Amino acid sequence: MAVREGVNIVVSGTIDRIASYHLTLRALDGVTGNALDKSEVTAETKQEVLSAVGRAAADLRKALGDTTPMSTQLAAAETYTAGSLEAAHEYALGQDLFFRGKFDDAARHYEQAIKIDPNLGRAYAGLAASYNNMGRLSDAEAEYKRALSHIDRMSDREKFRTRATYYLVTHNNARAIEELTQLVKQYPADMSALINLPIAYFYNRDMSRAVEEAQRAITAYPKNYVARNNAALYAMYAGDFTNALRQAQTVLSMNPAYLKAYVAIALSQLGENDVASATETYKRLATQSAAGQSMAAAGLADVALYEGRSADAAAILKQGVDRDRAEKRTDAANRKLATLAWAAGDVSAAEEVMATNTRDEHALYTAAHALIEAGREKRALAIASRLDAQLEPELQHYGKLIEGEAFLKRGQAREAVAKFEEARHLADSWPARFDRGLGNLALGAFAEADADFETCVKRRGEATAVFLDDVPSFHFFPPVYYYLGRAQEGLGSASAVNSYKQFVAIKTKGDGDPLVADARRR
């Protein structure tokens, strides 16, 4: 393992207790296994063991040629070791479970670590990361803020990790890349850095770089479920569904209970228009756990909407909202409510989302879109104002999209296109391209609309979960074919017929979409 990961020296340790605690650290050559040096220290009490580890490590580093002053090394070690051994143990258990993809179990150990030592900042960060992977985004952001309040007690390495993951959750992608690049440079085998750096590029919509960095992570840690499934998801977002399926199926062969592997598989199957297989995968996901049932409900509703079965989707979403609320999955409930508002024209569902005061762009943008379609422009623009007021460009860009959609609904296409262009400069997202295409189509700028919709087709992988949150949303994709047909028809291209046929073929089981009737007529 040391050879594969490029680690030259491996440190092992033992603790023997006689009258006191005797600690021994041994440095071994990573290739031959030969002993290079060792350090021995004694701790009189259990409470002194963690600080004794710091002293032993400083001695060993000096023996191996580290020129960092011992006082500096001990100060850095003290930022972590000021807590109790029991808290460190719980934190270590949480870390192990987290990197095995058992986020619920990991969260419980991080919570126990915090209970023992409320000042252990990295435990808050671990809890936040677990919540983030469980889809509890509001809780994740709150825990990251608590972690940052204890950043003065962290080593430089821990500070890099904590700040970087906070930036990821708050969509400050440039700062996340900056922190993680420094972390990888200083600690090339750091698992957290190798896993999170591709996430930062992914959120920046640099899919090719995300795929590249993810490969680096799984080369270093081939048995890490999180890293490998992330690689599957990046391939999916990049539109490489075959590679995504292969990677995610490998994850399930390693850990059949890893929930997001099912999501990667189902969305990749749907990306290839294999509706039956996607449906079966979501049904399997629903049998795994309560969290799996929540994720599967979102997926099955997405499949129904993809096919145009709005009534089926509404029924699935309503049941899902009730279940999520009972299980206190607030963010998941809000997203389902917003999708229900969009799918069924349920204004009350959109108002419920607004009442939660959420910052989740998935829920807010979808609810606003539904409100605009229902003629409730003022309420939609209130959501836009909420998003515009955020610091993060990603959130601001959704505010601009809402404002542009309001202009488009009023028939002010030129003003709409200007807003969509503002949004695209903030974040070159799939929805920004799609909306700009709609605006250009309304202006009669058929060549420009054709280019935008062609881009949406090429970037279809991003539409699988259009908010980049791994929550299924491929139902946004089929209308691209209809509007592409409209643009092609405006250009006098014979390709329009094929685009309309592709749209209609997806919606054959639908229950009355007026766009389908128009596509058939055309």
Range of lowest pLDDT (102-111, 136-145, 256-265, 459-468): 136-145
Structure tokens at 369: 């879109």
Average pLDDT over residues 486-512: 95
% of the chain surpassing 90 pLDDT? 66
Which of 42, 58, 81 is where one domain is finished? 81
Residues 35 and 154 in one domain: no
In angstroms, rounded to a whole number, what is the distance separating the alpha carbons of residues 139 and 13?
Answer: 37
Tell me the CATH number at 205: 1.25.40.10
Q: Output the pLDDT for position 495.
A: 96
Spatial CA neighbour of 248 closest among 227, 262, 238: 262
> Is 390 contained in some domain?
yes
What's the domain range around 58? 9-81
Q: Output the pLDDT for position 519.
A: 87
- Binned at pLDDT 50, 70 and 90, residue 447 comes out as very high
φ, ψ (nearest 5 deg) of residue 10: -115, 135
Mean pLDDT over the full length of the chain:
91
- Binned at pLDDT 50, 70 and 90, residue 79 comes out as very low
Q: Output the pLDDT for position 82.
A: 44
- Checking if the pLDDT of 81 tops 60, the result is no
Residues 49 and 155 in one domain: no
Residues 143 and 106 in one domain: yes
% of the chain surpassing 70 pLDDT? 95
> Is 241 contained in some domain?
no
- Tell me: the pLDDT tens digits for 288-318? 999 999 999 999 999 999 999 999 999 999 9
- Tell me: the pLDDT tens digits for 127-180? 998 998 887 878 888 998 999 899 888 888 888 999 999 999 888 899 999 999
Q: What does 6-26 look like in DSSP terms, one character per residue?
A: T--EEEEEEEEESSSEEEEEE
> Is 115 contained in some domain?
yes
- Tell me: the pLDDT tens digits for 200-250? 999 999 999 999 999 999 999 898 888 999 999 999 999 999 999 999 999
> Is 305 contained in some domain?
no
In 221-309, which residue ranges form alpha helices assigned H by DSSP?
225-237, 241-254, 259-271, 275-286, 290-307
Residues 374 and 515 in one domain: yes
Residues 76 and 128 in one domain: no
> Is 306 contained in some domain?
no
- Binned at pLDDT 50, 70 and 90, residue 198 comes out as very high
Which of 26, 56, 81 is where one domain is finished? 81
Residues 364 and 482 in one domain: yes
- Tell me: the pLDDT tens digits for 5-21? 456 778 888 888 877 88
- Checking if the pLDDT of 69 tops 70, the result is no
Average pLDDT over residues 394-411: 97
Average pLDDT over residues 409-423: 98
Average pLDDT over residues 102-123: 91
Residue pair 196/176 in contact (Cβ under 8 Å)? The answer is yes
Spatial CA neighbour of 353 closest among 344, 343, 366, 345: 366
Q: Output the pLDDT for position 17.
A: 82
Structure tokens at 260: 């997001």
Q: Output the pLDDT for position 19.
A: 75
pTM of the model: 0.83
- Checking if the pLDDT of 87 tops 90, the result is no
Residues 52 and 126 in one domain: no
Range of lowest pLDDT (14-23, 197-206, 397-406, 478-487): 14-23
> Is 412 contained in some domain?
yes
In angstroms, rounded to a whole number, what is the distance separating the alpha carbons of residues 347 and 519?
Answer: 28
Which of 48, 81, 114 is where one domain is finished? 81
Neighbours of 381 (CB within 10 A): 18
Q: Output the pLDDT for position 6.
A: 52
- Checking if the pLDDT of 474 tops 50, the result is yes
Residues 382 and 441 in one domain: yes
Q: How many domains does the chain have?
A: 3
Q: Output the pLDDT for position 408.
A: 98
Q: Output the pLDDT for position 3.
A: 46
- Checking if the pLDDT of 76 tops 80, the result is no
Q: Output the pLDDT for position 70.
A: 57
In 327-429, which residue ranges form alpha helices assigned H by DSSP?
330-344, 347-355, 361-373, 377-388, 393-409, 413-426
Residues 47 and 161 in one domain: no
Q: Output the pLDDT for position 84.
A: 76
> Is 156 contained in some domain?
yes
Residues 66 and 106 in one domain: no
Query: How many CA atoms lie less than 13 Å away from 206 in the CB half-sphere?
Result: 14
Residues 517 and 373 in one domain: yes
End-to-end distance of the chain based on CA atoms, in angstroms? 62
Residues 155 and 54 in one domain: no
Instruction: Report helix angle 361-373 to 330-344, nearest 10.
Output: 20
Range of lowest pLDDT (30-39, 114-123, 401-410): 30-39
The alpha carbon of residue 165 and the mean position of all alpha carbons in its chain are separated, in whole angstroms, by: 11
> Is 413 contained in some domain?
yes
Q: Output the pLDDT for position 311.
A: 95
CA separation (Å) from 270 to 264, 296, 344, 460? Answer: 10, 14, 22, 11
Q: Which range has the top average pLDDT, 18-32, 51-65, 82-96, 143-157?
A: 143-157
Q: Output the pLDDT for position 1.
A: 53
